[in-house]
């Protein structure tokens, strides 16, 4: 059976980390290696991790240089066939998500899988704020502002070994850059799993302030340039415009 390494990077998330761990522990019929990278939390997160130590295969507890450095530590430690990420504020949409991902890898032999994502209220995770329906994939779509939601992306470990992990010289857009590199530059064989894989509590760093949004725009352009490609015309407009429908679209059965 395909083994999946799930990397969870955490820093001072005592209120949500146990939910993320429970979400992973609840996955059925899947062989999971759990790697947690704790950047020396000081709010009680470390105690929660120790209380759940038996379910964590690898626990890295040391200072890091930010989220992307922490994720790279997890990628380096991973031994599974496939690597994915579940951030400390996130949780799986159902207890069969990883099983369905594995089934898709086994059926298709593809290099990567992605799916849909729900943004939910931090105070009430049952309340949907945004619905990111990723849709089908073609490398050319990235030039029109499309991208899959990074927390739903699962890649074979060999892809990271061959093409590299996250660039730590980018402050906000390293997750976008790695998608540009993997999908637009190297055209990995990606498949769309048409279901909601992850629920994310709102509050992403790139949208936290106007300054961060401007920095993200600059780094989005740089993501193309450092991969030897010309940035798409109007990227700073097409990328956010694609998100607008996420605010009023809802999954089937949702009000």
Both structure tokens of 200 = 């994310």
What confidence tens digit (pLDDT) does each residue in 221-244 have?
Answer: 999 999 999 998 888 778 777 777
Taking a C-beta distance cutoff of 8 angstroms, is the pair 5, 71 a contact? no
Looking at residue 156, what DSSP letter applies?
E
Topology (CATH level 3) of domain 3-247: Spore Coat Polysaccharide Biosynthesis Protein SpsA; Chain A (3.90.550)
Given this model, what pLDDT does residue 210 score? 67
pTM: 0.92
Contacts 24+ apart (CB under 8 A), 158-161: 159/111, 159/112, 159/188, 160/75, 160/83
How much is the pLDDT for 214? 83
Long-range contacts of 161-170 (CB under 8 A, 24+ apart): 165/71, 165/72, 165/75, 165/76, 166/68, 166/69, 166/71, 166/72, 166/75, 167/68, 167/226, 168/65, 168/66, 168/68, 168/69, 168/72, 170/68, 170/219, 170/222, 170/223
Tell me the per-residue pLDDT of 29-59, one tens digit each, with 9 for 90 and over.
999 999 999 999 999 999 999 999 999 999 9
Q: Where are the domains of the chain?
A: 3-247
Tens-digit pLDDT profile for residues 2-24: 999 999 999 999 999 999 999 99
Q: What is the pLDDT of residues 79-135, one digit of tens each?
A: 999 999 999 999 999 999 999 999 999 999 999 999 999 999 999 999 999 999 999
């Amino acid at each position: 059976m395909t083994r999946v390494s799930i990397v969870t990077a955490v820093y001072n998330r005592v209120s949500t980390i146990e939910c993320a761990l429970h979400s992973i522990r609840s996955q059925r019929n899947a062989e999971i290696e759990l790697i947690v990278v704790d950047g020396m939390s000081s709010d009680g997160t470390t105690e929660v991790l120790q209380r759940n130590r038996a379910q964590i295969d690898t626990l890295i507890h040391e200072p890091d240089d930010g989220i992307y450095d922490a994720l790279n530590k997890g990628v380096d430690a991973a031994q599974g066939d496939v690597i994915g990420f579940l951030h400390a504020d996130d949780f799986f949409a159902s207890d069969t998500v990883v099983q369905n991902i594995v089934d898709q890898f086994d059926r298709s032999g593809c290099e990567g899988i992605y799916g849909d994502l729900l943004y939910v209220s931090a105070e009430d995770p049952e309340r949907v704020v945004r619905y990111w329906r990723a849709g089908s994939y073609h490398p050319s779509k990235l030039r029109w502002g499309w991208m899959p939601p990074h927390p739903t992306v699962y890649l074979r470990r060999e892809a990271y070994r061959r093409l590299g992990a996250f660039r730590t010289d980018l402050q906000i857009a390293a997750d976008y850059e790695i998608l540009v590199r993997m999908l637009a530059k190297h055209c990995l064989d990606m498949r769309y799993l048409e279901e909601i894989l992850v629920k994310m509590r709102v509050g992403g760093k790139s949208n936290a302030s106007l300054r961060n949004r401007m920095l993200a725009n600059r780094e989005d352009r740089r993501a193309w340039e450092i991969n030897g490609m010309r940035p798409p015309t109007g990227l700073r407009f097409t990328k956010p415009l694609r998100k607008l429908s996420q605010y009023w679209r809802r999954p089937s059965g949702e009000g």
